[in-house]
Amino acid sequence: MHETTATALAYGIYKTDLSDTEPINVVFVDVGHASMQVCIAAFKKGQLKILSHEFERSLGGRDFDEVLFNHFATKFKEDLKIDVVSNARASLRLRSGCEKAKKILSANPIAPLNIECLMDEKDVRGMIKRDEFEELAKPILEKVRGPCEKALAASKLTLDKIYAVEVVGSGSRVPAILKILSSVFGKEPSRTMNASECIARGCTLQCAMLSPTFRVRDFEVQDSFPFAIGLSWKGAAPETEGEEEVSSNNIVFVKGNPVPSTKLLTFYRASTFAIDAFYAETSDLPPNINPKIATFTIGPFTPTMTEKAKIKVKIRLNLHGVVSLEAATMIEEEEVEVPTTKKDESEKASPPTDAKPEDAAVAENGAADVPAKMETDAPKPEVVKKKKTKRTDVPVHEVIHGGLPQPELTKAVEKEFEMALQDRVMEETKESKNAVEAYVYSMRNKLYEKLQNYVTESEREEMTARLQETEDWLYEDGEDEIKSVYIAKLAELKKLGDPLEVREREEELRGPAVMALTYCITSFREAAQSPDPKFDHIDAADKEKVIAECNKAEEWFKDKKQQQDALPKCANPVLLAAEVKKKTEVLDRFCKPIMTKARPVPPKSTPAEAKPAPEQQAPAAGDNPAPEPMETDAAAPAPEPESMQT
């Protein structure tokens, strides 16, 4: 994304008073440290369009600094007999002082320059007025008008169509530049944007708009390409087959062409051919830049229908300003025979008629015999020749000019991987060294604080001496060692320090582990000895096994605890929290399946014979009982449907 386009995006996306129909045209002037850029953009609601873009490479803030530097260097050489240019350090300090003086002149008519011990232990003092500075910088200021007038002409706008002039960049603080901009555009330049961050802000917004992760306000950016791009080939691309080919250079993408953009070219060729892409206007390029961009070789291909094939080439200038040949297609037209059916002339002559009444009667009463048509009534096949377009993709080989050849590019990639590996090794080595240093300081503090009661005096002295020895080695012989040496040194220290830390850690973890084992033993043993009916389905032998296993675990714990209680804190523990936890898990796995055994399901009893249901249920309270039918009514046979009279 161009810097001026990013500035325009940062300006327009936050502007809420834009019209849907009438665009506003804003001029953006960016005077940076090294160059000057001018851009004119048209804004509507939710969109911006770049109308023109011009630049001047030899106009920037550093050029004004250079004017002041040369002025004071010449003055000090005449007055103090010191050649600042010959001393790099003195030149750097003088350039810094000139930059400060330039900033002072942006708001004051006069600026001082004071530097102590600039060179040969001499203090320098100077003074410059704004008028004097503008006179010295007159050749540079004359370059400001050129890009502005070119941008205005390229945009095809009149001065009354300009809505505002926005000035950004650190070099735009020179008052003389603002005067020139006012005279060119007829409007006072404004500074409503952050001169240093607007480009970065616009680029960030564009990244967010391109990313699927972020949701950004809809805003269309129609950028343009500031260079003209042409194509050349060894023969022209004639409109009709058979025309004589001549050498041709054509500008395909003009200066200011919108991006992205695609052009479709047609060639008539009998064999492989090449197309060169190049910058058409070399004056816009920096010095010593090859104007050739790329060479596209199209082929091989073999025409089958005619002597020369029709090749359609699609050239694309993408959103990033990169020219590429997207596709090449060979188009051929061939005649194919297509069978068609032709009806008899008599059928064509007879017009369609409505259905006869007799036909309706036949359809109503059923199927009727219809006389079959003779074989001569069938449609006659006929072959017609039609033209069919055949499209065939043609291979394209691309060579980028100015880029590295493939072997050198491969070497560069391998070299980059090697350097990345070296960086990673250096980072890991640094981390290993820092780990040794951190362990030395941490362990030294623990010996006199956290581990004070868990180490003997001799162990403390030995460990302290080893830590001091390692620290001295780190800052002397071990200052620049490889990663494996630091890892080995840390392992040596941990071999001595880990047993000391285990004592303190076991003391902390032993309590919860012992409580868990004691609870497990007590709960299962009480459950096995309990007369509670919910355990009466468990066999007595299984309960005895649970009690025996609990007693066995309790005896083991008492024996280990007795040994541990006899040891001081500075001795290696015999009752480890991991062993206690393992004993708890083993006991739980043995006892839990027995004590949580499900009660067996009782056998199902034979269901009693169901009592015969009464023929009629008693009427509900409050209901009138239905009268019982008389015997004669019950005995009377029901009349048959056929015998009933109407």
pLDDT of the residue at 168? 93
The DSSP code for 221 is E
**pLDDT band for position 349 (cuts 50, 70, 90):** very low
Cα separation, 324 vs 398, whole angstroms: 9
Annotation: CATH topology of 61-141? Actin; Chain A, domain 4 (3.90.640)
Can you name the residues that pair with 119 across neighbouring β-strands? 122
pLDDT of residue 437: 94
- Is 359 a residue whose pLDDT tops 80? no
> Which is nearest to 546 in space by CA: 560, 562, 529?
529
- According to DSSP, residue 267 is labeled E
In DSSP terms, which residues pair with 240 in a beta bridge?
A: none
Give residue 453's Cα distance to chain centre.
55
pLDDT at residue 440, rounded to an integer: 94
Cα 549 to Cα 390, 520, 554, 587: the distances in Å are 89, 11, 9, 7
Tokens at residue 174, please?
């020179």
Lowest-confidence pick of 30-39, 284-293, 354-363:
354-363
Give residue 235's pLDDT. 60
248: pLDDT confidence band, cut at 50, 70 and 90? confident
pLDDT, mean over the chain: 84
pLDDT band at 646 (very low <50, low <70, confident <90, very high): very low
227-335+393-400: which CATH topology? Substrate Binding Domain Of DNAk; Chain A, domain 1 (2.60.34)
pLDDT of residue 544: 92
Give the SS3 label for residue 33: coil
Question: Position 242: which residue type?
Answer: G
Q: Is the peptide bond before 175 cis (omega within 30 degrees of 0)?
A: no
Strand partners, 126: 113
Query: Given this model, what pLDDT does residue 11 score?
Result: 92
| pLDDT tier, 41 (very low <50, low <70, confident <90, very high otherwise) | very high
Confidence category of residue 88, pLDDT binned at 50, 70, 90 = very high
The pLDDT tens digits for 540-567 are 898 899 999 999 999 999 999 999 999 9
Q: Once rounded to an integer, what is the mean pLDDT over residues 198-208?
A: 92
Count of alpha carbons within 13 angstroms of residue 26, beta-carbon side? 26
pTM greater than the 0.85 cutoff? no
- Going by pLDDT thresholds of 50, 70 and 90, the confidence category of residue 380 is low
The residue type of 246 is: V
Q: What pLDDT score was predicted for residue 608? A: 54
Tell me the percentage of the chain whose pLDDT exceeds 70: 85
Fold of 423-597: Substrate Binding Domain Of Dnak; Chain:A; Domain 2 (1.20.1270)
* Confidence (pLDDT) at 637: 44
Residue 367 has pLDDT above 70, yes or no: no
Phi and psi for 620 in degrees, rounded to 5? Answer: -70, 155
Q: pLDDT digit string (tens) for 569-601?
A: 889 999 999 999 999 999 999 999 988 888 887
At residue 101, the pLDDT reads 93
Render pLDDT for 280-330 as a digit per residue (tens, 0 to 9): 888 888 888 889 999 999 988 888 877 888 899 999 999 888 999 999 999
pLDDT class of 355 with cuts at 50, 70, 90: very low
> Is the pLDDT at 196 greater than 90, yes or no?
no
**Residue extents of the structural domains in the chain:** 3-59+143-222, 61-141, 227-335+393-400, 423-597
Q: What is the pLDDT of residues 267-277, one digit of tens each?
A: 988 888 999 99
When pLDDT is averaged across residues 34-40 and rounded to a whole number, the result is 93
Cβ contact 62:33 at 8 Å: yes
Q: Which residues pair with 49 in a beta bridge?
A: 42, 222
Per-residue pLDDT reduced to its tens digit, 401-440: 887 778 888 999 999 999 999 999 999 999 999 999 999 9
- CATH number among 3.30.420.40, 3.40.50.2000, 1.20.200.10, 3.90.870.10, domain 3-59+143-222: 3.30.420.40
Q: What is the mean pLDDT of residues 238-250?
A: 55
Q: Is the pLDDT of residue 354 over 80?
A: no
pLDDT digit string, tens, across residues 92-148: 999 999 999 999 998 899 999 999 988 888 889 999 999 999 999 999 999 999 999
Range with the poorest average pLDDT among 80-94, 363-377, 468-482, 504-518: 363-377
